[in-house]
Amino acid sequence: MMATTVPAEAGETNITNEDAEHVFQLDAVSFSYHGRHEALIDVDLTIERGEQLVILGANGSGKSTLLKMLDGLYRPTSGTIRAFGQDITDVADDPVRARELHRRVGLVFQDADVQLFSPTVYDDVAFGPLQMGWDKERVTREVARALEQMNVTHLSDRAPYELSGGEKKRVAIATVLSMEPDVILLDEPTASLDPRSSAVLVDVIAGLRDLGKTVVVTTHQLEIVPLIATRVVVFGDQERRPVASGNATEILSNAELLIRTNLVHEHLHFHADANLMHSHLHGPEHHEG
């Protein structure tokens, strides 16, 4: 049998301050690309353990940038981000602690093709555990578990480019689940999926709560919000910071907020003889005659 090549067993580096109340705490965080385009401006946000947070925002409101910052891939231009009670900039500067941060915080990218870079599904799901320096038995066990949790075991020998959009998304989630993360960040998970694949994925995301994971989902698709969110934070596309927070019912019933943040639009419709200005929300209560 060919020897498995893994790095020397990495010690379980503790980046946790167990006294920390929040998984993430952002204080006045700003970020700009190349010092010019401001993606986030003065963001204050806390994310609690075990919650399923949905970050709602229109295109360009900084949602994807925020997730990459929470995973330590981008550093704030100003302000501080604390992950598990530790300053994320300090953690990212230390390769060993950074690796542990990446293990504990799994990021599922919007474009699954970016995330699935290995020749087969199995190799992709095993990539993270192998980088952690786990032994072969543990890698094999965790990969099998993650594939089973996402119901993609039958795809393990397939090449990623052969998969459908929904299958790619489930495999992408498996690639982070195999690292036993505490937090899973999902960037627009249902974007460009057909309704059925979207529904399957919503069930998968809702199921992550049963696994005890803290889940942060960015989206602009309002219909999935009540199905997965225990809390919703709305990002303004002009402000590039949270402009509202609440439960799904509170947020989705606030038509003025949704229109102002470009999550719905209003326009003129002719309904029989009436000229109605209404937004694209479900239910008659949102019609303004």
Partner 1 sequence: MERTGFLPWRRKRKPDFVARTIAGVAEAIERSVYTEEYARTDGFLQRVDPRAKVVVFICAVLAVGLSRSLPVLLALYVATVLMALTSRLPLGFFVKRVLLGVPLFAGIVFIPALFLIHGKPLVQADLGVLHLAISDNGLISLAIFVTRVSASVSLAILLVVTTQWADLLKALRVIRVPSVFIVVLGMTYRYIFLLLQTVENLFLARSSRTVGRPTDAEQRRWIGSSMGTLMGKSFKTSNDVYQAMVARGFTGDVYTISDFKMRDEDWLFVSLSVVLLALALIFDLGLR
- List 87, 94, 111, 203, residue binding partner 1 (CB under 8 A): 111
Rule CB under 8 A: which of 164-183 touch partner 1? Answer: 175-176, 179
**Residue indicated by tokens 């893994």:** 6
CA trace torsion 115, 141, 132, 90 (10° rounding): 80
- List 11, 35, 95, 212, residue binding partner 1 (CB under 8 A): 95
Query: In a 10 Å sphere around its CB, with 0-12 CB exposed, 13-18 middle and 19+ buried, how is residue 71 labelled?
Result: buried
Distance from C-alpha of 175 to C-alpha of 123, rounded to nearest angstrom: 9
- List 13, 30, 120, 253, residue binding partner 1 (CB under 8 A): 120
Instruction: Give 130 or 276: the residue with its C-beta nearer to partner 1.
Output: 130
CB of 234 to partner 1, least distance (A): 26
- List 21, 44, 73, 277, residue binding partner 1 (CB under 8 A): 73
- List 7, 87, 192, 271, residue binding partner 1 (CB under 8 A): 7
Nearest to 52 by CA among 211, 174, 173: 211
- List 38, 49, 60, 130, residue binding partner 1 (CB under 8 A): 130
Q: Which residues have a Cβ under 8 Å from the Cβ of 24 and sit 6 or more positions away?
A: 45, 46, 47, 70, 81, 82, 83, 183
Distances in whole angstroms, Cα of residue 169 to Cα of each of 25, 74, 198 = 28, 23, 10
- List 24, 31, 84, 109, residue binding partner 1 (CB under 8 A): 109
Q: What SS3 class is residue 162?
A: helix
Distance from C-alpha of 151 to C-alpha of 169, rounded to nearest angstrom: 12
Is 136 near partner 1 (CB under 8 A)? yes
Is 13 near partner 1 (CB under 8 A)? no
- List 58, 144, 159, 199, residue binding partner 1 (CB under 8 A): 159
The two beta strands, 183-187 and 214-219, are: parallel
Nearest to 209 by CA among 175, 182, 249: 182
CB of 35 to partner 1, least distance (A): 18
Asked if 263 contacts 232 with a C-beta cutoff of 8 angstroms, the reply is no
Q: Which residues have a Cβ under 8 Å from the Cβ of 201 and sit 6 or more positions away?
A: 166, 169, 170, 189, 190, 193
Secondary structure element (H or E) that encloses residue 29, with its range: strand 22-33
Is 115 near partner 1 (CB under 8 A)? yes
Is 117 near partner 1 (CB under 8 A)? yes
Instruction: Give 31 or 234: the residue with its C-beta nearer to partner 1.
Output: 31
CB of 62 to partner 1, least distance (A): 16
Is 107 near partner 1 (CB under 8 A)? yes
Is 123 near partner 1 (CB under 8 A)? yes
Instruction: Give 54 or 112: the residue with its C-beta nearer to partner 1.
Output: 112
Is 153 near partner 1 (CB under 8 A)? no
Contact positions toward partner 1, by CB under 8 A?
1-7, 68, 71, 73, 95, 98-99, 102-103, 106-107, 109, 111, 113-115, 117-120, 123, 126-128, 130-133, 136, 139-140, 157, 159-161, 175-176, 179
